[in-house]
Amino acid sequence: MRIKLAATIFFAACMAVAHADEGMWMIGNLNKNKQAKQVMKELGLRMPVQKLYNPKKPALTDAVVSFGGFCSGVVVSEDGLVFTNHHCGFSSIQQHSSVEHDYLKNGFIARSLAEELPNPELFVRFLLRTEDVSKRVLAATTPVMKESERRMAVDSMMHVIGMEVSDKDSTLVGVVDAYYGGNEFWLSVYRDFTDVRLVFAPPSSIGKFGWDTDNWMWPRHTGDFSVFRIYSDKQNAPADYSPENVPYHPKYVAPISLDGYQEGSFSMTLGYPGSTERYLSSYGIEEMMNGLNQAMIDVRGVKQAIWKREMDRRPDIRIKYASKYDESSNYWKNSIGTNKAIRHLKVLEKKREAESSLRDWIQSTPGEREKLLRLFSSLELNYNKRKETNRALAYFGESFINGPELVQLSLEVLNFDFEAEEKQVVARLKKLLAKYEGLDLAIDKEVYAALLKEYKTKVTSRYLPATYAKIDTLYHGDIQAYVDTLYKTSALTSPMGLKRFLERDSTFNIFEDPAVSLCLDLIVKYYDMNQEMVESSEQIEQGERMFNAAMRRMYADRNFYPDANATMRLSFGSVRSYAPFDGARYDYYTTVKGIFEKVREHAGDPDFEVQPELLNLFSSRDFGRYANAEGDMNVCFISDNDITGGNSGSAMFNGKGELLGLAFDGNWEAMSSDVVFEPQLQRCIGVDIRYVLFMIDKYGKAGNIMKELQIAR
């Protein structure tokens, strides 16, 4: 049958290797993907594909780690050194910082193993192998199951298969993940290491240069890197932190290239991208824009303005709030850029054209028509049914569940599991106490009062929790008076209240505490709002899964990469400049010259301040072997590799499998990349590995680190 040209182009952009730079490809079946292998070789891959991933022999993927479950990293020494981004290590750096030892501002250098700093909550994860278990998982389902029954059966089988791995070997972790909207399932077998220590961090004037202003932007001049080390027991096996532990010896170490790159140089990225929604229907994208994204934009904007004001006023607050502000603002700006790009690039219009072609194909294909006749009407109906409640729930989550820290602490106390293993109980207690240490009650009070007002302006009265009625009746509508009383009377505003709860103090009834009473009101409203959407949400889940499968059947002759789901993926392409808009062209790399330009342009802005000793170092032009061909110092570069959140810290390799840099960001013009890939615009921003080494060597004078690295000659 005849398919509309625009729709054909759109599907090609979303689902096939129509562009060499598109795709977050699964490692486990890469050797079977002849088309992807051929394109990689044509672009410049010089190493055998089987040396990228081989569960039986050391391979490049053995040097790549999931860093903390939220970023990626790469092993660069025989003694377990790991390179990742500065913003990935930011929380750990912040936890070790104080006004007296401000590692955020001044950086950190361990001159010996004894000086390296432990991070109890941090872990790294190595992938050992993957396996397709789709048949086994789907065997637990039947065509007549309701979606809720299917989900329970699938989840149960995924859990069973995963547990079989650790039952056979307690040092391993088995995780089964869903792919292609729940139409396929793969097992990943991992080994986790929980003793990870901080080795090197540049000053934030390097690692966070430009902060929010430059976030998601190109050109970029941010030295976004930090260095950690993995420790093991003396048998090279995973072990909890102990002074007796020794540096871990990995299966494979990533070599480092000083040769740099040119326009068109091959580049591949290995890491753990978090999530994309490339196959989501237009109805789902529209809901995401108006719900979760807009809620983040509105609510976090209010919260962060209060945080930032106080961080700029006081050094102690800057250190306390640095990590949570960084995490919050990252997704806040991402949401702004995503919504803007979706509108500017007319993503919804393109999706709807593609869906129109799919409708035509279904109508003209008897077997499909019988199964999918009502697919689009069902999706449209059920998205409309939950539209208002889903939007309110997004604002509810941002305003309360992810809003005031007193609420977050109280919810954690309510859900504390005394029956867990002692190790887990201790770890959770430490985490709670760390949150108290990072809390400023005056700031949190102001945030809560502001968010109470913000939420009320964004939803109708039927979505207000019972707390608002209490404010009206007991406080005559005075939100500030209510908040003042709450923070004054709750025992959970300090660790003392937590201590009374944990010691089962008979004089302390946790359910009478006003903060807990508030949380119970919130839980009730949250449950009610979710219940309103149960039926429509199940229909949407089923419809999106069927929609995903139908698109793959429609284009059965193409290779499809699945959406990102926090499993290891390979993307590949070329180092490449781009034209962001008419009359402009952005080069593919930046140099330290741009640092001086931005310092002058943003004089007086703390986000662009750089210590004089660093500026003097750059001015000296003593770049040595780290200089480019013209004698300048490259800072960052861009490629058309396909990345998303979670890829931060991913290794960027050349065609020989040598490290070129570390991925750390995407670009503003293609912020809709989680729902559609725009090959002419989307770029992966990486910090040049030569700049990383220059900072470690010339600024940090950390010869102990440099001696460990395998620098390709």
DSSP per residue over 495-544, as a string? Answer: HHHHHHHHTT-TT--GGGSHHHHHHHHHHHHHHHHHHHTHHHHHHHHHHH
Residue with the larger pLDDT of the pair 424 and 713: 424
Domain boundaries, the chain: 5-123+194-277+563-706, 282-542
Point out the catalytic residue in the list 648, 650, 672, 673.
648
Point out the catalytic residue in the list 79, 195, 214, 224.
224
648 is catalytic: yes
| CATH classification code of 5-123+194-277+563-706 | 2.40.10.120
- 564: which 2 tokens? 């990102």
Average pLDDT, the chain: 93
Q: What number is the average pLDDT over the span 419-432? A: 80
- Confidence (pTM): 0.92
Give every CB contact of residue 144 below 8 A, 6+ residues apart in sequence: none
674 is catalytic: no
**Start-to-end CA span in the chain (Å):** 56
Q: What number is the average pLDDT over the span 146-154? A: 95
Point out the catalytic residue in the list 62, 66, 77, 87.
87
Q: Report the run of H or E that residue 367 belongs to, with start and end.
A: helix 366-372
Give every CB contact of residue 463 below 8 A, 6+ residues apart in sequence: 389, 392, 396, 525, 529
Q: What is the pLDDT of residues 234-279, one digit of tens each?
A: 999 999 999 999 999 999 999 999 999 999 999 999 999 999 999 9
Of all residues in the chain, the percent with pLDDT exceeding 90 is 86
The dihedral formed by the CA atoms of 521, 525, 527 and 529, expressed in degrees to the nearest 10: -170
Beta partners for residue 267, in sequence order: 573
Q: What is the pLDDT of residues 643-663, one digit of tens each?
A: 998 999 999 999 999 999 999
pLDDT of residue 21: 62
**3-state SS, residue 636:** strand
19 is catalytic: no
Q: What is the pLDDT of residues 501-556, one digit of tens each?
A: 777 777 778 888 999 999 999 999 999 999 999 999 999 999 999 999 999 999 88
Taking a C-beta distance cutoff of 8 angstroms, is the pair 97, 201 a contact? Answer: no
Beta partners for residue 271, in sequence order: 569
